[in-house]
Amino acid sequence: MIWLTWRQHRKQALFTLGALIALAAIMVPTGLAMHAKYDSLGLPACRAALGTASMITQTEATSNCEGLGHQFQQQFSGMVFVAVLFVVLPVLVGVFFGAPLVAREVEQGTHRLVWTQGVSRLHWALVKFGLVGAITVVLAVGYALGVSWWFQPLVSASTGRLTYLSFDVQGIVPVAYTLFALALGVFAGTYGRKVLPAMGIALVGFAVVRVAIEVLARPRYLPARTLSFATSGGRTPNPGSGDWVMSEGVRNAAGEMVLPDARIGPCPPAGCGGGAAGPGAYNWMEYQPGDRFWTFQGIETGIFALLTAALVYFALRRLRTIA
């Protein structure tokens, strides 16, 4: 069974390996260029000096550090579009690996031959799911490590690892997304029983689940913190903290939001347009601390691991109904 499964899927595996090698040919030179520029600008020492506190005192060094970060982002802003491609890669595994795994066998009727040769449905499924799953894990881990290394300078120079897009291609969640996409494709194949419908179900299902968890669940993994600070006095949010700012604005003395998505200072209110907010106005911010990155990674990985296990279980159950 292992040899047969490898023979059936070796072209897909070799094609995927070739695609990853081609991707690495793009990532390695651009990644080395970004890391070299990041170091030459002095951003590692600059960011280290800022620390991880949510609030710091605005100084000339702080302003210079922010300026260097903006300079780096402007030079490599085009790389963000490459990062979007990395977000899409996991679903391709579900569409081109997972969906045909069962659907092609059922559509062509080859599953009947195997099941009449002394191989049970459970044995057949476990070997196919296990071998393809193992190959997927190896490729996904390599992909996750490579993308994390490639994207690290861009993340460090910007708003941190918890924000959308940055979080999705860093850490361990890319592996969980990939395995979920594979399991969803397999389940879709047992449901649709034809390759093209199974591919469509896997694609749409993955997009719906990913967006729902990212938009609705992730901001609520842990209670968000709030921070209020004066419009003058020199205190400002730390650009090096990695905090995920979900909402901010200027509130008046009564606590009412008068300037949403805005911030005043640190400077005299009259000099920053603070007159529109009235006397006693202050800045307000709702955020998730940057040091929660690995906690959020663990929570989201756990969610997708449970979904993956459930999909594999239901796929095995549906195999019993296939004639």
pTM here?
0.87
Burial classification of residue 52, based on how many CB atoms lie within 10 Å of its CB (0-12 exposed, 13-18 middle, 19 or more buried)? middle
Indicate whether 11 pLDDT > 80. no
Count other Cβ atoms within 10 Å, centred on residue 220.
Answer: 9
Contact 47, 65 (CB under 8 A): yes
Arithmetic mean of pLDDT over the chain: 84
Residue of 180 and 163 predicted with greater confidence = 180
Separation CA 73–CA 192 (nearest Å): 45
Contact 79, 154 (CB under 8 A): yes
Contact 5, 127 (CB under 8 A): yes
Indicate whether 274 pLDDT > 50. no
- The pLDDT value given to residue 215: 93
Q: What percent of the chain is predicted at pLDDT more than 90?
A: 33
- The pLDDT value given to residue 111: 59
Q: Where are the beta strands (DSSP E) in the chain?
A: 55-57, 225-230, 235-237, 244-251, 257-260, 282-288
- The pLDDT value given to residue 35: 93
DSSP structure class, residue 259: E
- pLDDT tens digits for range 218-254: 999 999 999 988 887 677 888 888 899 999 999 988 8
Mean pLDDT of 51-80: 81
- The pLDDT value given to residue 160: 80
Distance of CA 278 to the CA centre of its chain: 41
Indicate whether 85 pLDDT > 90. no
Mean pLDDT of 52-56: 83
Residue of 277 and 95 predicted with greater confidence = 95
Distance of CA 133 to the CA centre of its chain: 20
What Cα–Cα distance (Å) separates residue 116 from each residue in 32, 53, 128, 194? 54, 65, 17, 21
pLDDT band at 154 (very low <50, low <70, confident <90, very high): confident
pLDDT band at 273 (very low <50, low <70, confident <90, very high): very low
Lookup: tokens for 256: 């009412």
- The pLDDT value given to residue 312: 93
- pLDDT tens digits for range 97-153: 888 888 888 777 665 666 666 667 777 778 888 888 888 898 899 889 999 999 889
Mean pLDDT of 302-306: 97
Looking at the chain, the number of H-run helices and the number of E-run strands are: 10, 6
Indicate whether 176 pLDDT > 70. yes
- The pLDDT value given to residue 110: 67
What is the number of residues in the chain?
Answer: 323
Indicate whether 268 pLDDT > 60. no
- pLDDT tens digits for range 34-46: 999 999 988 888 8
Identify the helix (H) or strand (E) that includes residue 176: helix 173-192
